[in-house]
Amino acid sequence: VRAPWGAVGHGALYHSQSPEAFFAHAPGLKVVVPRGPTQAKGLLLSCIRDPNPCIFFEPKILYRMAAEEVPVGDYTLPLSQADVVRTGSDMTLVGWGTVVHVLLEVAEMAQSQLGVSCEVIDLQTIMPYDAATIEQSVRKTGKAMIVHEAPLTSGFGAELSARIQEECFLHLEAPIQRVCGWDTPFGYIYEPFYMPDKWRCYEAVKNLAEYM
Amino acid sequence: MLRQSLSKITKPVLSRALATEATFDLPECALHKFDIDLPKQATLTRDDGLKYYHDMAVIRRMETSANALYKAKEIRGFLHLYSGQEAVCVGMEAAITPADSIITAYRDHGWAYTRGVSAAAILAELTGRSGGCQKGKGGSMHMYTETLFGGNGIVGAQVPVGAGIAFAHKYKNDNGVCVSLYGDGAANQGQIFEAFNLASLHKAPCMFTCENNHYGMGTSDVRAAANPHYYTRGDAVPGIKIDGMNVLAVRDFTKAVTDWMRAGNGPVVAEVETYRYYGHSMSDPGTSYRTRDEVQAVRKTKDPILMLKGYMIEGELATEAEIKEIDNEARVIVDEATNFAKTSPELETHEMFNTIYRDMDGTRVRGADSLTYGIHSP
């Protein structure tokens, strides 16, 4: 099942939501979110060929905005495998969909202005998710931040946060940060404040870096 | 001459005293925007008649046994019995092929049987044992085969899925059809009309079939539906109303409808008029919204099994003694099945972690806390 997903700048209540957490809660479903055209093609083909029911959320803001050279041949990207989009050593930033591009920009800012090296991971498949890649990264960096547009409470970041602290507790040097949407309906006029934009994320990266 | 008259009183020594087939008049069907030639007569062969009788007798006894098992607390949870409606599943199965698809709601034990699940596997599924058709994981409302898509618990949810299955048949060009069943209570659900519309636009070979037993739980059809003529509810979709207590009518009219659909004409809405003897489920005695007299009257005058027996005897296709023999056979089958259902072992706990995903064997499935998990296995 393909569905449009995520905030688009003016969607208001019903055209801005990210419901991946609802569907991740049903055992037996697969939930996938691509971050761009190249991933979309590969992941969609994998979903179509997968014998399980898959929900494929397409960040609709990227429909018009994203432009890439997509290979024309037949290729698939594996499900349940996260993609380390940028390697780093000081902290792990996890996101999916539109937010991955925000995190890449934040990682650049953090490097140039704070000298902080961020590893950015695109989760890609929300359910069943690739915990191993995230755990490996957090054991390396010791600090983790999860970013998603969906509301904070019971968002998928909560699941990842719980999992990371279960598996990597002794490696953690700071509490796991979550930068998410607010626990309110998605107000039309409040969209710029609602989104986990690069300033909120940069602030969180700064706090994480300075945590003692 | 004496010999002949004697053969009418006692059981014939040789079966060639009986006919191999007989022809009966079929009842008329109400039609809605349906330009179709319907058969006026049905031919019943002896073999077919004996098979239909056997199947209906087994289903009737199986449901009775399920009733007893439930009262003995061997079956828990939900139980919706099919007694009285046997002619629908037996008749329709006789009209379609094993390659066609069926999807129904929670009154599915009869459909599981006619699709090939043994009475033993059905009863063991009800008691939740590993010998059940879903190994006990499904229970009464979730029975499946390769071509029976349930067994669905949510009222009316299965109908759009049925439209999709029909679409898949068309897409794969395999000449198959899907029978998508629902009850008179579900017939007012909104998504069913969406399904009618899309199936019609795509000319999907879906026979939307309303098993109208006149009561949606405790609400009669005339109280629940502004238009209780369910075969007309498809609006632009052609409709037909079939007498669901007459197995020959169900069979022959279903055959006519499915042939029409296989020719590429699109979906049909069929209303099959039937009756359930038990209440909606085991928590409903079935007497607070209808009189016992009404139930008894149907049992006496319209019972599908008695009706078929009448055809068999009248057409000289079988003798009373043979019919009684089949009744006995059915009793033995169901007794053995009941015993199997009581003695089949329960499923082991590690089986909880499989059949969640396809092709995910070997992966960990998390348990109830951070330290327990299972391994997904086939």
Partner-chain contact A52 B358, CB within 8 Å: yes
B354 at A interface, C-beta within 8 A: no
pLDDT (0 to 100) of residue B370:
75
* Residues 47 through 66 of chain A touching chain B, CB cutoff 8 Å: 50-52
Q: How far is CA A199 from CA A97, A202, B155, in A?
A: 18, 5, 48
Q: How far is CA B285 from CA B72, B84, B275, in A?
A: 16, 15, 15
3-state class of A148 per DSSP?
strand
- Check pLDDT > 60 for residue B11: no
Identity of the residue in B356, B363, B370 whose CB atom sits nearest the CB atom of A28: B356
3-state class of B35 per DSSP?
coil
Whole-complex ipTM: 0.80
Share of residues in chain B with pLDDT > 70 (%): 95
Residue of A30, A74, A76 lying closest to A54 (CA atoms): A30
pLDDT (0 to 100) of residue A23:
96
Residues of chain B contacting residue A27, judged by C-beta atoms under 8 Å apart: 356
Q: Which of B30-34, B169-173, B334-338, B369-373 has the lowest mean pLDDT?
A: B369-373
CA B301/CA B187 separation, integer angstroms: 27
Report whether the peptide linkage leading into residue B151 is cis, meaning its omega lies within 30 degrees of zero: yes
Beta pairing partners, A83: A122
Residues of chain B contacting residue A128, judged by C-beta atoms under 8 Å apart: 357, 360, 363
Residues 6+ apart with CB under 8 A from B65: B123, B334, B335, B337, B338
What tokens does B289 get?
Answer: 């919204």
Residues of chain A contacting residue B360, judged by C-beta atoms under 8 Å apart: 52, 128
Confidence class for position A168, pLDDT limits 50, 70, 90: very high
Residue of B342, B332, B373 lying closest to B58 (CA atoms): B332
Identity of the residue in B357, B359, B370 whose CB atom sits nearest the CB atom of A166: B370
Confidence class for position A137, pLDDT limits 50, 70, 90: very high
Q: What is the DSSP string of A47-113?
A: HHHSSS-EEEEEETHHHHH-------S-----TT--EEEE--SSEEEEE-TTHHHHHHHHHHHIIII
Residues of chain A contacting residue B356, judged by C-beta atoms under 8 Å apart: 27-28
Q: How far is CA B26 from CA A196, B45, B318, in A?
A: 70, 15, 20
Identity of the residue in B357, B363, B370 whose CB atom sits nearest the CB atom of A52: B357
Residue of B271, B129, B269 lying closest to B196 (CA atoms): B269
Residue range B150-197, pLDDT digits in tens: 899 999 999 999 999 999 999 999 999 999 999 999 999 999 999 999
User: How distant is the Cα of B202 from the closest Cα of chain A, in angstroms?
Assistant: 19
Residues 6+ apart with CB under 8 A from A111: A117, A118
A1 at B interface, C-beta within 8 A: no
B17 at A interface, C-beta within 8 A: no
A27 at B interface, C-beta within 8 A: yes
More confident residue, B68 or A186: B68
Residue of B16, B57, B142 lying closest to B329 (CA atoms): B57
How many helices and strands in chain B, by DSSP H and E? Answer: 12, 12
Residues 6+ apart with CB under 8 A from A17: A5, A6, A150, A186
Partner-chain contact B360 A51, CB within 8 Å: no
CA A203/CA B186 separation, integer angstroms: 54
Partner-chain contact B357 A128, CB within 8 Å: yes
Mean pLDDT of A79-93: 97
Confidence class for position B306, pLDDT limits 50, 70, 90: very high
Confidence class for position A66, pLDDT limits 50, 70, 90: confident
Return phi, psi of residue B296, to 5°: -60, -40
- Check pLDDT > 80 for residue B3: no
Rounded to the nearest integer, the mean pLDDT of chain A is 95
CA B352/CA B160 separation, integer angstroms: 29
pLDDT (0 to 100) of residue A38:
95
- Check pLDDT > 50 for residue A101: yes
CB pairs under 8 A between A and B: 16
Residue range B25-70, pLDDT digits in tens: 999 999 999 999 999 999 999 999 999 999 999 999 999 999 999 9
Identity of the residue in A27, A51, A166 whose CB atom sits nearest the CB atom of B359: A51
Residues 6+ apart with CB under 8 A from A203: none
Partner-chain contact B363 A50, CB within 8 Å: no
pLDDT (0 to 100) of residue B13:
47
Confidence class for position B5, pLDDT limits 50, 70, 90: very low
Q: Which residue of B has its CA nearest to A80?
A: B360
Confidence class for position B6, pLDDT limits 50, 70, 90: very low
A169 at B interface, C-beta within 8 A: no
B227 at A interface, C-beta within 8 A: no
B360 at A interface, C-beta within 8 A: yes
Mean pLDDT of A89-108: 97
pLDDT (0 to 100) of residue B358:
86
Identity of the residue in B356, B359, B370 whose CB atom sits nearest the CB atom of A27: B356
Q: How far is CA B51 from CA B46, B47, B300, B305, B333, in A?
A: 9, 6, 23, 12, 14
Beta pairing partners, B307: none
Beta strand A2-5 with B364-366 is unpaired
Amino acid at A45: L
b (16+ CB within 10 A) / e for B117-128: bbbbbbbbbbbb
Rounded to the nearest integer, the mean pLDDT of chain B is 93
Residue from A29, A47, A52 to probe the interface with B (highest B Cβ count within 10 Å)? A52
CA A196/CA A178 separation, integer angstroms: 10
Residue of B233, B251, B243 lying closest to B275 (CA atoms): B243
Residue from A50, A55, A125, A168 to probe the interface with B (highest B Cβ count within 10 Å)? A50
Residue range B211-268, pLDDT digits in tens: 999 999 999 999 999 999 999 999 999 999 999 999 999 999 999 999 999 999 999 9
Residues 6+ apart with CB under 8 A from A9: A61, A191
3-state class of B4 per DSSP?
helix
pLDDT (0 to 100) of residue B350:
84
Partner-chain contact A30 B357, CB within 8 Å: yes
pLDDT (0 to 100) of residue B4:
46
Residues of chain B contacting residue A50, judged by C-beta atoms under 8 Å apart: 358-359
Residue of B126, B66, B59, B125 lying closest to B91 (CA atoms): B59
Q: What is the DSSP string of B336-363?
A: HHHHHHHHSPPPPGGGGGSSSSSS-TT-
pLDDT (0 to 100) of residue A65:
83
CA A2/CA A12 separation, integer angstroms: 21
pLDDT (0 to 100) of residue B351:
87
Can you give the length of chain B in residues?
378
What tokens does B154 get?
Answer: 């949510």
Residues of chain A contacting residue B357, judged by C-beta atoms under 8 Å apart: 28, 30, 52, 128
Partner-chain contact A27 B370, CB within 8 Å: no
Mean pLDDT of A93-101: 96
Residues 6+ apart with CB under 8 A from B111: B89, B102, B104, B143, B148, B181
Q: At how many degrees (to 10) do helices B46-71 and B304-314 cross?
A: 150
